[in-house]
Structure 1
Amino acid sequence: MINKKINFKYIHIGDLIQLKVIENGLSLSFLCKTFNCSEKEVSDMYTAETLDTEILLIWSKLLGYDFFRIYSEHLILYSPQTRVNTKDSEKVTIQKKKGEFRKNIYTRGMIEFILESLELGEKQYKEVLQVYGIPSSTLNKWMDKYKKIED
């Protein structure tokens, strides 16, 4: 998608949309006609940290990129899996399970984000294992696999 690395923790959707517009080479006049709005309103969308889902859906279709996936990946990375506990039939509670690993949930973008945070020293190896709940064997495989591809 965008040459800039996506920070899945702090999402500024307007910036990402603007980068994708530049990448696709769309003109401001075309965007104004598509959204039936002024140039200032399009500029305001670029500076918005969040957008209405209907507007985001239009941007996703227009630019051919699923911007909702960015939020889904944020949830996968920063929100533990939940489970409904039905032991007490009268009271149903949701419990977050810490450290539970779900196989095959990591996209290439998330893997690159995690490995980049290790490479840049933003997170330590053990910290990545704890924060994201990734088994050390999986993290080691990613490090080997993606290092070979980049070399």
Structure 2
Amino acid sequence: MTFKEINIGQMIEKAVTESGIEMSRICNFFKCKEKEVTEMYQAKSLDTEILLKWSKLLEYDFFRIYTQHLILYAPPVKQEENENNKKSSLPQFRKNIYTKEIIDFILEQISNGKMTKNEVIERYRIPKTTLYKWISKYSEIK
């Protein structure tokens, strides 16, 4: 799976198919008609409240897909820019969350020769020691 182009409707439809949840249950849960559910499947993006309901119904964190996109493709904020801004009342996160999917994606880029280790370190701002720990840990498994 690529995190660059996200079509959340297709992902939800796939998750529904895999889970085997009946359309009648989905319609009852959302208090809507089958046509509206089908429209959600065709939507490239959905309102966060609707996405939260899908996450609960299917017991899958669809927001994590967007988080992975941010980790891989959002430009990093320079530390000096961050210090000049006022403190935000929004929650501040201390570090990136590297899921197994992200680690696999990055290691695949290196093993396929699409990126060098240095390119990965620069592009995704992953500490060198972290990358080398992943390489040694996950190469033992394979």
User: Where on the TM-score scale, by shorter chain, does this alignment land: which range?
Assistant: 0.7 to 0.9
TM-score, scaled to structure 1: 0.73
| Dislocated runs of 4+, deviation >4 Å | none
Matched, 1:59 2:51: no
**More strand per residue:** 1
Q: Under a length normalisation based on structure 2, what TM-score does the superposition of the two structures give? A: 0.77
Are 1:85 and 2:83 an aligned pair? Answer: yes
Q: RMSD of the TM alignment (CA)?
A: 2.5
Q: In structure 2, list runs of 5 or more residues that go unmatched.
A: 87-93
How far apart are residue 40 of structure 1 and its match?
Answer: 2.5
Letter in 2 for 1:10: E
Corresponding position of 1:23: 18
Q: Which segments of 5 or more consecutive residues in structure 1 lack a partner in the other structure?
A: 87-91, 94-101
**Residues 71 and 96 in structure 2, CA contact (< 8 A), matched pair in contact too:** no
1:125 aligns with 2:120: no
Q: Is 138-147 or 53-62 further displaced after alignment?
A: 138-147
CA distance in 1, matches of 2:96, 2:53: 29
Aligned length: 133
Query: Structure 1 or 2: larger helix share?
Result: 2
Paired position in structure 2 for 1:141: 133
The answer on whether the counterparts of 2:109 and 2:115 sit within 8 Å (CA) in structure 1 is yes
SS at match of 2:70: helix
SS of match in other structure, 1:34: helix
Deviations 1:8-32 (A, max 9, x none): 2222111221221122111222212
User: In the TM superposition, what is the alpha-carbon distance from 1:105 to its structure 2 partner?
Assistant: 3.0
